[in-house]
Structure 1
Amino acid sequence: MSIAIEDFPQIWQRPSFEELLASLKRLQVEPPIWKPGTPRQVIVDTYYNAASYRREVAAYLASIIQSSLGWIQDDDEKEALWDEASRRLSERCGRAAMGEITRRWPFETQASSSFELIIREPPITGDSLGLKTWGSSYLLSQSLDKIAQGPLAHLINMGHSNQSLNVLELGSGTGLLGMAAAAIWQTNVSLSDLPDIMSNLSHNIEINRPSIEVLGGRIDSGILTWGSGNGNADLFAMKNQFNIILAADPLYDDDHPELLSSAICENLAEDKSSRAIVMVPQRDLTTKKLVDSFVLTMASLGMAVLEEHTLVGQDDWDEDDDDSAIDCWCAIFGRQ
């Protein structure tokens, strides 16, 4: 191990503020680049470190948090050390316990150079599902190249500009899928979500906009609340304007099948060449029932499943989850 805890300044030595702060900075954990092909144990070992070392670090951090730091006179410095130690501890407690993180997501496609998207994820607190990058969005993003050369070949000319197309992502969250589509398909993509999600989504769009535009993509974003008719007045004023609609992991409540179906039918172009692509992780029986309900609702609205597949991806990385592999249902819909 490159860092030995016994070499760090110990509380009983009454180290200075500067010494303790420097040690805590050295223990900062950087989120891994997401590579689903990487063996689970490699991620655990490199990100969280070996179990024995993890216990040593936790004990060291706890000693700082529990100490009164009485020899340090400045109360603000004490607070800074306690806060920093708490952050280091939370970084080793899995994604749900972590604060804000920024991750890099690499892409390799046949039609464009390799690129990566930079995604900020705020702390996961309360009802903040849209502030997390779900593994299914990356799995679908990685499939965009193949999908474009297969079931979407009538719409997308890979390796060439597709600026005549309009693409909408529903429930964009942190924006990974929509931004990847803009870059890989070299087309216009509108990202959408609820008002509370838009601040972080806009941040991620602006960080990645230059690299996406270099690759030939264009992106914008707006508020779109499914089933309410509330949305960005300019961006979504015209109904049925999008040739392709994307949605990843959009079903996790009983009313979502109907809301998602209506949002797709209201925004998808009415000609029979238009397509909607939806991916849903099959986490449990409840999720499978939501998918069944969604398919039936889409059928009642004149939307048929043209293709469906099961792909295997990672739901997310987590310290205590040794097997994050999950089956994801992916379907391509068209108007009947």
Structure 2
Amino acid sequence: MSISVADFPQVWQKPSAEELLASLKKLQVEPPIWNPKTSRKIIIETCQNAAQFRREVAAYLSSIVSSSLGWIQDDDEKEALWDEASRRLSERCGRAAMGEITRRWPLESQTSSPFELIIREPPIIGDCLGLKTWGSSYLLAQSLGEIAEKSLSHLLQLGRPNQSLEVLELGSGTGLLGMAAAAIWQTNVILTDLPSIMANLGFNIERNRSTIEILGGGVESGALTWGSDEDNAERFGEKNQFKIVLAADPLYDDDHPELLSSAIHDHLMIDNDARAVVMVPQRDLVTKRLIAKFLSIMASSDLKVLEEHTLAGQDDWDEDGEDSGIECWWAVFGRQ
């Protein structure tokens, strides 16, 4: 590691407030950006090498939080140090404890120079997991060009903007996937999520709107509660409007397979050319069970699996950060 905790001023040395604050600033954790091209072996080795350093940092930060800092006379300086040390600890406590962050997500398009989307992620409040960007959305976003050329070539032609073709994203969260689709596919994408998610989603859309429009795409948003016709009547009262439906990481509760299946049936156009693309990270046995349940429900309808794949990437769901490797299942569905 380039930083050694042993080189920092220790509490027992009674350093000045300025010295402690400077050390705490150096320990600020930058939000991770995942790269599916990085091998799983490198990811694991990097995380293992960092484990001891994380434990040392946690002990150092705890020593400051638990200290009375009695040698520092200014109470405001003490509060500032405790607050800063607490923030450094929360940055290392997984998604549930992470404060607000802003991430820059690099992306590539076959028809333009590389670009990036800037995404704000507020702290998780209650069960609002849609306020964070999860690994599968970035993994799917990076695969959009290839998907357009192979799985959706009958609908999309890269390099030829098509604003008349509207795409619906279900469970957009922070908006990374839907905005990437608008920019890379050069089409109009409507991003949707629960009403409680919409304020941050709208903020991210406006922050990136000019980038998307320069690249030839368009983006809108609307609240969409799966399984509630009343809540969705104003914008989505008309059924089966969209030729493409996207969803990333939409299955993490027992009722999600049925709700997602219902949402796809309600909004995917009744047309043999229409397609739904769904990606789900296989984090554990629970997630795999939800995928199996979703596939079973879809199989009993007119929506069938046309393609099924797995793709290795990264995620930071793991609270300890020991191994961020994740294998994502994804599939393309069509009406038959």
Shared fold, TM over 0.5: yes
2:32 aligned with 1:32: yes
Q: Deviations over 1:86-139 (max 9, x none)?
A: 111232344444322222222123222211222222223531221222211122
Task: Indicate if the aligned counterparts of 2:48 and 2:322 stay in contact, CA closer than 8 A.
Answer: no
1:141 matched residue in structure 2: 141
CA distance in 1, matches of 2:235, 2:28: 41
Structure 1 distance, partners of 2:266, 2:294, is: 15
1:43 is displaced (CA, Å) by 5.8
Is 13-22 or 63-72 further displaced after alignment?
13-22
User: Could you tell me which residue of structure 1 aligns to residue 80 of structure 2?
Assistant: 80
- TM-aligned CA distance change 1:281 to 1:92, over 3 Å: closer
SS in 1 for 2:113: coil
For 2:194, the equivalent position in structure 1 comes to 194
**Alignment TM-score, normalising by the size of structure 1:** 0.89
Question: In 1, Cα distance between the equivalents of 2:199 and 2:44?
Answer: 31
User: CA offset at residue 279 of structure 1?
Assistant: 1.3
Partner of 2:266: 266
* 2-structure distance, mates of 1:239, 1:171: 17
Match of 1:313 in 2: 313
Asked whether the 8 Å contact 1:183–1:216 carries over to 2, the reply is yes
Q: Please give the alpha-carbon distance, in whole angstroms, between the structure 2 residues aligned to 1:304 and 1:39.
A: 32
CA contact (8 A) 1:222 1:235 kept: yes
In structure 2, the CA distance between the partners of 1:230 and 1:38, relative to structure 1 (3 Å rule), is farther
- The one-letter code sitting in structure 2 at the alignment partner of 1:305 is V
Alignment of 1:291-306 (within 5 A): 291-306=291-306
Contact 1:166 1:189 in 2 (8 A): yes
Residue matched to 1:109: 109
Q: TM-score, normalised by structure 2?
A: 0.89
Going from structure 1 to structure 2, the CA distance change for 1:321 and 1:183 (only over 3 Å counts) comes to same
Q: Which amino acid aligns with 2:290?
A: L
d(CA) in 2 for partners of 1:20 and 1:269?
60
Q: How many residues are paired up?
A: 336
CA distance in 2, matches of 1:295, 1:10: 56
Preserved CA contact (<8 Å) 1:104 1:119: yes
Letter matched to residue 197 of structure 1: I
Q: How far apart in 2 are the matches of 1:44 and 1:116?
A: 26
- How high is the sequence identity, in percent, across the aligned residues? 73
Q: Contact conserved, 1:305 with 1:334, CA < 8 A, in 2?
A: yes
Instruction: Check 1:200–1:15 CA distance in 2 against 1; reply closer, same or farther (3 A cut).
Output: same
The question of whether the paired residues in 1 share the 8 Å contact of 2:64 and 2:85 is answered with yes
Equivalent position SS for 1:213: helix
In 2, the alpha carbon distance for the partners of 1:199 and 1:36 equals: 30
The offset of 1:40, in angstroms, is 5.7
How do 1:11-90 and structure 2 match up within 5 A?
11-39=11-39, 50-90=50-90
Per-residue deviation, 1:324: 3.2
Deviation at 1:304, TM superposition (A): 1.8
Superposed CA RMSD in Å reads 2.6
The residue number in structure 1 matching 2:283 is 283
Structure 1: how far apart are the matches of 2:44 and 2:283?
A: 22
1:155 aligns with 2:155: yes
CA distance in 2, matches of 1:63, 1:11: 7
Q: Does the CA contact (< 8 Å) of 2:107 and 2:115 recur in 1?
A: yes
Q: Which has the higher contact order (CA 8 A, sep 6+)?
A: 2
Deviates further, 85-94 or 138-147: 85-94
Alignment partner of 2:180: what SS? helix
